[in-house]
């Protein structure tokens, strides 16, 4: 692994439609060490990779993700909104992404609900060699997952200037990492993470100058929409 870990945010969302297999492939080709993705459940309980809980922004569908069966979701176009050349791109399932990534890439799975968390844990049991990190803004959800998966790597997301409480909860939960919004990062945060044994991965960083500053400050890596640009600048 390189000394500065690049997470492809929703794949390579700056150059391909987010949270699609094409985006994840682009991230790998660009030199990302891992990919970040978001999960919601279909009406029939299948973890599907999509950021929003509704379909309008990134597909040609309408309504809530959880009101559609997997078969219905698979008929949607998840690429044309980004560019006509991506027309026909489909929403992937989490299982498809895990099977594709194998052991090559780490996969950061962001969960947003307890029911999605339970479904993800059940699926991960079938992929014991998958290199995963499960994250959420819902710290209580991560704390509830811990007794069910004692060794599962967890990442605590933060977007509030009152980040210290979240960091303390991450340490108490035995989390691996802390994921703050990039503008919240400070020397005091870096120091606090170091003292608590937490890896620091800020989001979302597309400016190479900012990425370089964060590396010098002590961040272990960043989430980026453009891993190729960041990797080239930091090489």
b/e 163-181 (16+ beta carbons within 10 angstroms → b): beebbebbbebebbbbbbe
9 in catalytic set:
yes
Active-site residue, 51 included: yes
Angle at 118 between CA 108 and CA 174, to 5 degrees: 55
Strand, helix or coil at 74?
Answer: helix
Q: Which residue among 40, 51, 139, 179 is the active-site one?
A: 51
Could you give the CA distance from residue 35 to residue 80 in angstroms, rounded to a whole number? 22
134 in helix, strand or coil?
strand
User: Cα separation of 195 and 170, whole Å?
Assistant: 12
What secondary structure letter does DSSP report for 225?
S
Cα–Cα distance measured from residue 50 to residue 93, given in angstroms and rounded to the nearest whole number: 9
Q: Is the distance from CB of 209 to CB of 232 less than 8 angstroms?
A: no
- Say which of 9, 40, 139, 179 is annotated catalytic: 9
What is d(CA 23, CA 17) in angstroms, rounded to the nearest whole number? 6
Residues in Cβ contact with 172 at an 8 Å cutoff, skipping those fewer than 6 apart: none
Tokens of 124: 């991960």
Contact between residue 200 and residue 5 where contact means Cβ atoms under 8 Å apart: no
Q: Which residues are catalytic?
A: 9, 51
């Amino acid at each position: 692994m390189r000394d500065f870990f690049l997470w492809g945010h929703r794949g390579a969302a700056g150059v391909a439609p987010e949270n699609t297999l094409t985006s994840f492939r682009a991230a790998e080709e660009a030199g990302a060490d891992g990919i970040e993705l978001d999960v919601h459940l279909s009406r029939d309980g299948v973890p599907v990779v999509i950021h929003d809980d509704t379909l309008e922004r990134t597909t040609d569908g309408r309504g809530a993700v959880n009101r559609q069966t997997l078969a219905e979701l698979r008929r949607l176009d998840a690429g044309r909104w980004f560019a006509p050349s991506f027309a026909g791109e489909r929403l992937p399932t989490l299982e498809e992404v895990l099977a594709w990534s194998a052991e090559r890439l780490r996969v950061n799975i962001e969960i947003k609900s307890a029911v999605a968390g339970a479904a993800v844990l059940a699926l991960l049991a079938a992929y014991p060699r998958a290199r995963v990190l499960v994250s959420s803004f819902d710290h209580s959800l991560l704390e509830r997952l811990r007794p069910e998966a004692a060794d599962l790597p967890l990442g605590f997301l933060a977007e509030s200037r009152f980040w210290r409480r979240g960091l303390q909860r991450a340490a108490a939960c035995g989390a691996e990492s802390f994921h703050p919004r990039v503008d919240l990062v400070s020397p005091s945060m870096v120091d606090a993470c170091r003292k608590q044994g937490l890896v620091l991965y800020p989001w979302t960083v597309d400016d190479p100058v900012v990425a370089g500053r964060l590396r010098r400050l002590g961040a272990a890596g960043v989430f980026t929409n453009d891993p190729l640009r960041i990797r080239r600048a930091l090489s």
